[in-house]
Amino acid sequence: MSSNILNLWLHGDPLGEIEQLRNGTTRLRFSSEALNQWGAGTRVLSYSLPLTTRRVQSEALDDYLDNLLPEGAVRTQLEQQYQVRPGDTFGLLRHIGGECAGAVQLTTGGEPQNGHLVPLSEAEVAAIVEDLPTLAAPEGETVSASLGGIQSKVLLTRTADGWAWPAAGAMSTHIIKPEPIDPSVAVPEIIEYEHWAMRLAAAAGLSVAHSELVRFGDRLTLVVERYDRANGQRLHQEDFAQALGIRPGNKYEPGNDVPSRLARIAAGPATESLDPAGFRRALLQLVTFNVIVGNGDAHAKNYSLLLTDGLFSLAPAYDVAPVFYVSNRYSNFGMQLAGQRNLKYLSAAHLVEEATRWGIDEPTARQVVDDTARAVHFALDDVPDDSLPVRVAHSIRKRAAELSA
């Protein structure tokens, strides 16, 4: 296989080929098998990349691939490890594209990678976790899995016998995120806050990824079960940035997007779901929850879609944390709501007005916001908040009361 070609697989079936041209740009050609099975215009890979008989060479393709990779220092480390020039998305995916978010795989060979699992002892897992943010593979292995985001993490597989390293494209099942060790981070207790907020979301009736706090060696971690892995199978998904053709560096929405990014999701993927009205209500519920808990990091990469046979549904909540109440670095909501981004000023009126722009009638929008706020208010009594500063729990309770007034 040529070094400038990557085979693209979806659920282990051939979906196409991605070619890197001499000038560094990428081009996608969907396979005849995929076109025969699904038909032109079907969105089985991404909302932004419908199947077509033509070659695809676009910013949407570049952004989709870019969003498969980690950001910031983690990406820089991997580029250095594999001697890939900075910013060469195609070059890095040649090494770590065998295990990505969703059901896609990118390989240099003519077959999808099943890989193999390398059993890890408790001491080996602790060593891997304690090395983070340096991502060090077990002896004799390499990093071959990729997941978007800027936060330090490692992907492992939980088996009946313990933890294992997913090698050569093998499927991971869990995301391990350690507590930060950099004293300059805005929220040092981020993983404890995130775990609490995800439990609160579940108690309030939202669909949410399952998480637990686990200590490996001297490092406390948040262990998150991947919702895009179930019963030994990959489930396909994409984040809102991929669906809307947004590069990772632009994941926070500016205040002047018309229509808003959420409105574009409501007018796009929501219409290609089994229940468009239910999709929009679920989205409003999740956005309302994020406002209540002060999730100032709710940007386009922290919402996702599940794709099943060309139909979309809203993925479970993840990366939810009350960062607004503990750091002024997160004063802006990741998305705009009726033109407002500042969490200090976001109100039920903004949520309702934004929802009406999605096609939800005003009484229904008010009911969803009110029901969500009341559910959070009652859930606060069921989820211990020992890990939170008293002022944070008080602020969340106060915001819930304001939105249900």
Instruction: Please list, in sequence order, all residues whose beta carbon lies within 8 angstroms of the beta carbon of residue 131, skipping any fewer than 6 positions away.
Output: none
Instruction: Give the model's pLDDT for residue 149.
Output: 84
On the question of pLDDT at 279 being above 60, the answer is yes
**Contact (CB, 8 A) for 189 and 183:** no
- State yes or no: pLDDT of 258 exceeds 90: no
* Percent of the chain whose predicted confidence (pLDDT) is above 70: 99
Model confidence band, residue 2 (pLDDT cutoffs 50, 70, 90): low
All domains of the chain, ordered by start, with CATH? 5-107 (no CATH), 116-229 (no CATH), 232-403 (1.10.1070)
Q: Residue 239 contacts by C-beta under 8 Å, 6 or more apart in sequence?
A: 67, 101, 148, 300, 301, 302, 303, 304, 305
CA distance linking residue 214 with residue 218, whole number of Å: 11
- Position 257 scores a pLDDT of 79
Lowest mean pLDDT, pick from 122-136, 259-273, 368-382: 122-136
- Tell me the mean pLDDT in the region 252-280: 95
Average pLDDT over residues 111-122: 93
User: In whole angstroms, how far apart are CA 300 and each of 169, 223, 257, 268?
Assistant: 26, 22, 13, 15
* DSSP character at residue 138: P
Average pLDDT over residues 91-113: 94
Q: What is the pLDDT of residue 10?
A: 97
Q: Would you call 297 a catalytic residue per the annotation?
A: yes
- In this predicted structure, the answer to whether residue 396 has a pLDDT above a threshold of 80 is yes
For residue 253, the 8-state DSSP code is P
Q: Is 39 helix (H, G, I), strand (E, B) or coil?
A: coil
- Spell out the alpha helix ranges (H) of 68-121: 72-81, 89-96
pLDDT digits (tens, 9 = 90+) for 325-344: 998 899 999 999 999 999 99
Residue 319 in this model has a pLDDT that exceeds 60: yes
Binning pLDDT at 50, 70 and 90, where does residue 179 land?
Answer: very high
Helices 72-81 & 89-96 angle (0-180, nearest 10): 70
Of 161, 297, 382, 385, which one is the catalytic site residue?
Answer: 297
* Mean pLDDT, the chain, whole residue set: 94
Mean pLDDT of 202-227: 97
pLDDT-based confidence at 109, cuts 50/70/90? Answer: confident
User: Distance between alpha carbon 220 and the CA centroid of its chain, in Å?
Assistant: 22
What the block records as the tokens of 190 is 């981020």
pLDDT band of 177, cuts 50, 70, 90: very high
Query: How many Å apart are CA 217 and CA 176, to the nearest integer?
Result: 13
> What is the rounded CA–CA span in Å between residue 118 and residue 155?
13
Residue 386 confidence class, pLDDT cut points 50, 70, 90: confident
**pTM (2 d.p.):** 0.96
20 SS3 class: strand
What pLDDT is attached to residue 3?
73
The pLDDT value given to residue 152: 87
Q: In this structure, what is the dihedral angle of CA atoms 230, 306, 244, 92, given to the nearest 10 degrees?
A: 20
| pLDDT tens column, 59-88 | 999 999 999 999 988 899 999 999 999 999
Structure tokens at 270: 């929501």
**How far is it, in rounded angstroms, from Cα 252 to Cα 82?**
29
Q: Which pLDDT does position 185 carry in this prediction?
A: 77
pLDDT at 387: 80
pLDDT tens, residue by residue, 339-360: 999 999 999 999 999 999 999 9
In whole angstroms, give the CA distance from residue 335 to residue 318: 16
User: Which residues in 137-295 belong to E strands, given as ranges?
Assistant: 154-159, 162-167, 174-178, 211-216, 219-225, 229-230, 233-234, 236-239
